[in-house]
Amino acid sequence: ALFALLAIDRIVVERELGLAAAGRYQVAFLIGGAGLSILAAVNNAWSPIVLDGPVDGRWQRLALSTAELERLVPVVVGAIALASPIAMKIAVPAAYDPTALTRIAMIVAASTVPYLWYLAGAHVLFAERCTGALVRITPLVAVANVVTTIILVRTFGLAGAALATVGSYAMLALLIRRHARSLARPPWNRAATRRCVALSAVAVAAALLLPVDGIGWIGARLVLLVLAGLAAISGRSAAPVGRPAMVGG
């Protein structure tokens, strides 16, 4: 179901808009979805950090490591969204209309934020040996993604597929985290979460609003990227306060 969730937008685009449109969208998705690949790689090290060591400190480790990643994710999202015009000019053939695909990649980049929350919630399910929730929730989200993608592609074209991708990851994260709350209560750093959302939203909005052509505008994007990076990584993440609450033993 997770593979279906990752690939269904391309299948719908091919059915609704044709094979050429699916090829163009695939290129935009690969650039915009670079943050997903980065987090998937990070998760190979993140999972042992959370699951290894004393059980008593597990939720503290999860909350602290999630907060640290929430500081870095806006940098990744901003880098992808703001620098996507440069990446498109380098990687995309002129026949694919790279300028039109740039904003598709920017929208897809936003899905990195809910994907982080999905991974954080999944750590709770794995630690509590309740992975059956993934079996129930992921197919549900995949089916919802099919319906949403069809509707949005017919309305907004390729941008609709990108919006459906962000919405599907958000739905997946919401349902997984909701189920995780019935098992354990890691002391999440809410301030770090709000900061992550705000900085990522500003970066994507700025990327979408700024023109994608012209040396001056590309320079402005790079300046904004540096500022977003400094804002995201400045200071130390506040440690969660209080002892993690356990639910259900």
Give residue-wise pLDDT tens across range 62-115.
Answer: 999 999 999 999 989 988 998 888 888 888 888 888 888 999 999 999 999 999
pLDDT band at 243 (very low <50, low <70, confident <90, very high): very low
Predicted pLDDT of residue 216: 63
**Which sign, positive or negative, has the C-alpha torsion 51, 68, 186, 35?**
negative
Asked whether residue 52 carries a pLDDT value surpassing 60, the answer given is yes
pLDDT for 249 equals 38
Portion of the chain with pLDDT greater than 70, in percent: 90
Low-confidence winner among 111-120, 161-170, 199-208, 235-244 (lowest mean pLDDT) = 235-244
Average pLDDT over residues 125-152: 93
Q: Where are the beta strands (DSSP E) in the chain?
A: 184-185, 245-246
Angle, in degrees to the nearest 10, between helices 19-32 and 34-51 = 50
Taken in order 12, 10, 27, 72, the sign of the CA dihedral is positive
The Cα 80–Cα 66 span in angstroms is: 21
CA distance 125 to 41: 19
How does pLDDT run across 182-220, given as a tens digit for each residue? 999 999 999 999 999 998 998 899 889 888 776 666 677
pLDDT at 54 over 70: yes
Q: Global pTM?
A: 0.87
Q: What is the pLDDT of residue 221?
A: 72
